[in-house]
Amino acid sequence: MADIASFNALQLDAIREVGNIGTGNAATALSGLLSRMIHMDVPKTELVSIYELGEHYGDPLQVVGAVFVRSTGGFGCSLIFIQNEEDADVMVELLLKQQFGTFIPINEIPEEMKDSALSEVGNIVLSSFLNAINLLIGTQHQISVPGVAHDMLSSILDVVASIYGQMGETALLVNTELSVDGLEAGRKISGHIILIPDPDALELLLKRLKVM
């Protein structure tokens, strides 16, 4: 298995570029879904100590809405779409307004419908991200049904620790941010896409990108 701590700048940059291509496709899909302009951030490839994951992405106790999918095939990986709980609520309002034409405030939307809408947003964002990557490196893939959770950031990120913790003490993550104008003027809502490649899939990825 590739030792992630020894990756050189070129290899990390290649992984970041993969994130960039995935993010572009995800932004296009989200834009189509919400009929709004989406701003995307330049993705970062990050090597993070598994002991510091909770703090790395913000306040570990902050409540977030998260959608998780697992992709299997040539390039096995997991993906999380994470938003502040308030931003997730606005995202749900935006989606439902777009679908039904009328605005329904979040506290009048039944819990199951909220989760269903959130998981749909996550599913579209994450599967577009994955489609672009797999097309680029020429691999087949299957995506799981999305799982949704609302909880403390550090509890959610335990899942990363359990993937990378078995192999060592560092996780390799590709982190990017999408943002969209909220319902109120001037208010922006955003979501993070975190790509968690399976440690044993990184070698294949780097070989396909011709940097290993």
Shortest distance (Å) from residue 13 CB to other proteins: 28
Q: Does the footprint of other proteins cover residue 86 (CB under 8 A)?
A: no
- Separation between Cα atoms, residue 111 and residue 102, nearest integer Å: 18
Q: How far is the CB of 124 from other proteins (least distance, A)?
A: 17
88 scored as a contact of other proteins (CB under 8 A): no
**Cβ–Cβ < 8 Å for 129, 79:** yes
Q: Work out whether 27 is an interface residue with other proteins (CB under 8 A).
A: no
Contact 166, 143 (CB under 8 A): no
Choice from 16, 73, 165, 208 touching other proteins (CB under 8 A): 165
Distance CA 142, CA 108 (A): 35
Rounded-to-10 torsion of CA 38, 44, 49, 54: -10
How many H-runs (helices) and E-runs (strands) does the chain carry?
6, 8
Closer to other proteins by Cβ: residue 25 or 154 = 154
Of the pair 92, 160, the CB lying nearest other proteins is at 160
State the minimum distance, in angstroms, from the CB of residue 149 to other proteins. 5
Instruction: Determine which residue in the list 58, 60, 73, 74 makes contact with other proteins, applying CB under 8 A.
Output: 60
Question: Does residue 53 contact residue 35 with C-beta atoms inside 8 Å?
Answer: no
Tally the residues of the chain. Answer: 212
Q: Which residues here bind other proteins, judged by CB under 8 A?
A: 50-54, 60-61, 63, 66, 68-70, 72, 78, 144-159, 161-163, 165-166, 169
